A = this chain, B = another copy of it.
Amino acid sequence: MTKSTAEAPPFEAIGIVGCGLIGCSIAAALKQRNFGGRVVGCGRAGANLEMAVARGYVDAVENDLAKAAAVCGLLVVCTPVDQIANDVLAAAIGCRPGTVITDAGSVKQSVCGEIAHKLPPGVTFIGSHPIAGSEKRGCAHARPDLFVDHVCVLTPEAGTPPEAIGRLAGFWESIGMRVVAMSAELHDRALAQTSHVPHVVAAALASLLADENRRFTAGGFHDTTRIAAGDPGLWTAILLANAKETAAALRAVGERLNEFLQVIESRDKQSLTALLRLAKQNRDAIAAGILPSDATGFE
CB pair A261 B251 closer than 8 Å: yes
Binding site secondary structure of chain A: helix
Asked whether any CB of chain B lies closer than 8 Å to the CB of A257, the reply is yes
* Chain B residues with CB under 8 A of A117: none
Contacting B at CB under 8 A, from A176-231, are 180, 190-191, 193-195, 197-231
A71 at the interface (CB under 8 A from B): no
Size band of the interface chain A makes with B: 35 or more
Q: Which residues of B contact A283 (CB under 8 A)?
A: 206, 225-226, 228-229
- Judge whether B265 and A211 touch: CB under 8 Å: no
Give Cα A257 to B196, complex, Å.
13
Can you tell how many copies of this chain the complex includes? 2
Q: From B190, B276, B295, give the contact of A236 (CB < 8 A).
A: B276
Query: Which listed residue, B207, B233, B280, B295, touches A282 by the CB 8 Å rule?
Result: B207
Cβ of A150 within 8 Å of any chain B Cβ, yes or no, is yes
Which stretch from A18-26, A89-97, A239-247 is at the chain B interface? A239-247
Known: A132-B219, A215-B151, A217-B286. A280 touches B232 (CB 8 A): yes
Partner of A224, one of B180, B201, B264, B296: B201
Point out the residue from B150, B202, B208 that lies within 8 Å of A193, measured CB to CB. Answer: B208
Task: List residues of chain A with CB under 8 Å of any chain B CB.
Answer: 131-135, 150-151, 153, 180, 190-191, 193-195, 197-233, 235-236, 239-240, 243, 246-247, 250-254, 256-258, 260-261, 264-265, 267, 269, 272-273, 275-280, 282-287, 290-292, 295-296
